[in-house]
Structure 1
């Protein structure tokens, strides 16, 4: 009988499986798709950053980026994140910057003139910018493949095309039902991303994680050389970055209803471009490539922060990252292994991200959600 059953073979589930196997546990991974990284992981914009306001988010990302730097398959590129800070958010961003610096992560405060050296923009309404030199992008597929390969090397079994139908706890053991039979394990870990709310219902649990669709728009190759960092206009939430000769861009739709809506919402292109052109006029000279654009899901919680750790006896959740799961997966894998092996995460205090905060009516106020 395996010690731990991990549900989900995205980047978070893969990292957890690897670290559990590394700790000497017998691990089985269940994945409903035919291969790995087919959910939010594979649709991610691939950014990694330390520029958050909540200390735990900062540290989860910081330690994860340090790990990605050591994984060749991650193809880590420190292109940086540039935050353009409007006057209205001057004080809030100053507080976030102070927290980041107190934790020892590298973030710089830039004048608008210096920020212009990274990407050209209109300065109206802005106070200053912040830049994270260790922020950047990775290859989520490469990282996920690395973790699953290492987990298998240590004895883990990965079973594709095998969704979790239901599970129940009997005599200290979780008995999970799949289309191929029953799998029993002492611990059950849900790393099911945007589907975690639905999976929770199969276990008779209310887990407040819902899918929300997000779009990434890609241009055709630009007629000029560029190497833009992932740049975010905090006044509107519009972001862009270079991807080879293309420019990727997007903006979260605050009116997008939760649910498994599918396909590109081309109606959201006009509001996205309107926000982008107001700050980055050079975008007007670029053409959109509809075939290169894509959509995926954010896995949203009520406060846009993840749920981590035990939620019931033998049952753990690592999901609800609300757009920053790729950024934090590496450290989350380590912490979930500590939860199982030691009964509680040791490297970082994950209390702020435990499920009971919602049951107690406590909501975190992360200011760095994009």
Structure 2
């Protein structure tokens, strides 16, 4: 059986859901194909769910600002403005301070605090820190709710979503993508790659290389704290440790740059590497107990510069990327859905995405660095 559409979106996580909604809203016939048995079972559903506008580059700031504004109006997002606190060592402060100025110019609310002033937000050991920044309008969302909310809206505009339908082969024939699956063949002139950590694998099916690969990330969960604390999403840029409240519990994590590839399951050996710097920075964590059963893991979708790849793929007709977000996908999905739709319709995206296009890998002057937390 062959089904035809105007656009095939491959991947029904938060990014694919946002793109499907905005494409269908513009009148395109959309088919969403998800390899797993339900949407949001991949990286979206295993996210730490933080959203922030505290980036250094204008493109990332705007993608997050517009997404957060949309989440605030979206009941399914369950947005909570718990704030984002970033602890900055001296070596990173000049670039970080420039980022704050850019954030403010673009409309974000970001406060600069001394480490002593930041104690009013959260108690921590200020050793080795130059300054802190706090985004009171940043917070956390429900990625499941957002994904299913976008998919519901997509369906209302005629989109069809098929789960348990992995792409097994891809080819471009007479201006049309043919996507073979166990459920039959799907044809469309546009293919939107929202496959997350699997985006590089999808490109291989089409016969080209896309530098996106999986990186495993752990989220360790404590039991209820003995002393009630409201902890904003807090990143220590010295160590890469982050913590935040989840009800009466805490979520704790730290990226392991060497943990790449298709590795599954929680890495309990990495726990010591996470807790040791966390306890140094937040001594009151000694009162917490770890809840192993509530902890989880998930994949980041990584790129060489840990920045997403957006826009049409050069030399590959009808292929549009929205992948490689390196942990920032939930933060930016709402705006990316709009940008990708404009790109697919050959309109000028409302946010400049040239710094995030694939072409930057061949032109280093186009590449930009950003806060990687």
TM-score (norm 2): 0.97
Q: For residue 107 of structure 1, what is the aligned residue in structure 2?
A: 110
Aligned equivalents of 1:283, 1:104: Cα separation in 2: 35
- 2:166 is aligned to 163
Are 1:226 and 2:233 matched, yes or no? Answer: no
- 2:305 equivalent in structure 1: 303
Shift of 1:361: 4.3
* Counterpart-to-counterpart distance in 1, 2:348 and 2:207: 25
Secondary structure of 2:46's counterpart equals: coil
User: For the residues of structure 2 that align with 1:187 and 1:95, how far apart are their CA atoms?
Assistant: 39
Structure 2: segments with no counterpart, 5+ residues: none
In the alignment, which residue of structure 1 is the partner of 2:213? 210
Whether the aligned pair in 2 keeps the contact of 1:31 and 1:162 (CA below 8 Å) is yes
Displacement of 1:338: 0.6
- Confirm or deny: 8 A CA contact 2:169 2:206 kept in the other structure: yes
Any conservation in 2 of the 1:4–1:25 contact (CA below 8 Å)?
A: yes
> The residue matched to 2:361 in structure 1 has which SS?
helix
Contact 2:6–2:190 (CA<8 Å) still a contact in 1?
yes
Instruction: Identify the residue that residue 290 of structure 2 maps to in structure 1.
Output: 288
Alignment of 1:278 with 2:299, yes or no, is no
Q: Where does 1:101-250 land on structure 2 (aligned, <5 Å)?
A: 101-250=104-253
Counterpart for residue 357 of structure 1: 360
Q: Over residues 191-239 of structure 1, what are the superposed CA-to-partner deviations in whole Å (9 max), with x where a residue is unaligned?
A: 0000011111001010000000000110000011111100111111111
Partners of 1:213 and 1:346 lie apart in 2 by 32
Residue 367 of structure 1, CA deviation = 3.2
Q: Distance in 1 between matches of 2:209 and 2:362?
A: 10
Q: Is the 8 A contact 1:303 1:363 kept in 2?
A: no
Distance 1:18 1:83 in 2: 33
For 1:126 and 1:163, how far apart are their aligned partners in 2? 47
The whole-number CA distance in structure 2 between the counterparts of 1:255 and 1:34 is: 30
Alpha-carbon contact 2:355-2:366 (below 8 Å) kept: no
- The separation in 1 between residues aligned to 2:169 and 2:348, in whole angstroms, is 27
Q: Distance in 1 between matches of 2:194 and 2:348?
A: 17
The Cα of 1:363 is off from its aligned counterpart by 6.6
What is the aligned partner in structure 1 of residue 317 from structure 2? 313
Q: Any idea what SS the aligned residue of 1:116 has?
A: helix
* CA deviation string 1:64-99 (max 9, x = no partner): 000000000100001010011112222121111111
For residues 345 and 185 of structure 1, the distance between their equivalents in structure 2, rounded to whole angstroms, comes to 22
Task: Note if 1:325 corresponds to 2:321.
Answer: no
CA–CA distance in structure 2, aligned partners of residues 297 and 259 of structure 1: 9
Distance 1:146 1:185 in 2: 24
Q: Using the alignment, how far apart are the partners of 2:366 and 2:48 within structure 1?
A: 26
What SS is found at the alignment partner of 1:196?
helix
The C-alpha deviation readout for 1:27-66, integer Å capped at 9, x for no partner, is 0000011110011000000000000111111110010000
Note the aligned Cα RMSD (angstroms): 1.1
Whether the 8 Å CA contact 1:302–1:363 is kept in 2: the answer is: no
Q: Note if 1:269 corresponds to 2:271.
A: yes
- Indicate yes or no: 2:67 matched with 1:35: no
In the alignment, structure 1 segments of 5+ residues that lack a partner are: none
Per-residue CA deviation, residues 99-119 of structure 1 (Å, 9 max, x unaligned), is 111212111111222211111
Q: Is the 8 A contact 1:80 1:230 kept in 2?
A: yes
Provide closer, same or farther for how the CA distance between residues 205 and 56 of structure 1 changes in structure 2, counting only shifts above 3 A.
Answer: same
4+ residue runs of structure 1 moved beyond 6 angstroms? none
Does the Cα contact within 8 Å between 1:85 and 1:233 map onto a contact in 2? yes
Contact 2:122–2:231 (Cα < 8 Å) also in 1: yes
Distance 1:158 1:285 in 2: 46
